[in-house]
A = this chain, B = another copy of it.
Amino acid sequence: MNYKKKGFVMKRTLSMVEYSGEEEVMASIAKAISHPVRIRILKLLASQQCCFTGELTEIIPMAQSTISQHLKALLDSGLIQGEINPPKVRYCINRANWLKAYSMFGGFFNADLTCRCDCR
């Protein structure tokens, strides 16, 4: 197969891998916390007075639109929730999903690693 051939178009995926629901959910949660600024936001929301608004823009030196974008990513992951309180919006941790994530990651990393081979 020749990529330089005129008109060649690479297929994105040849075989579609089927993932379990748990794999998909864990991956999406992990993706949500895969950026240091989102970890910082989550820590602020979890440790400070629980609820927060856009003061984040004052604490974190990033453009307002960028912060908003990260908040949206966290919202989509379900780890946080937002309450409209015009003209402000108050964000806080979504406790139910937070606990789900806790047990999910806990169960994942808590795997029994008893080794039956000679790796160190």
A: residues with CB less than 8 A from B are 14-15, 17, 19, 23-24, 26-28, 30-31, 33-40, 42-43, 46-47, 49-51, 60-63, 81, 83, 90, 92-93, 95, 98-99, 101-102, 105-106, 108-117, 119
**Contacting pair B119 A90 (CB below 8 A):** yes
Copies in the complex: 2
Closest to A60 in B: B17
Question: A27, B35: Cβ atoms under 8 Å?
Answer: yes
Contacts of A99 in B (CB 8 A): 109
A63 to B1, CA, bound (A): 15
Bound CA–CA A101/B24 (angstroms): 20
Contact status B46-A111, CB under 8 Å: yes
Q: A34-B27, A102-B109 known; A15 and B62 CB under 8 Å? A: yes
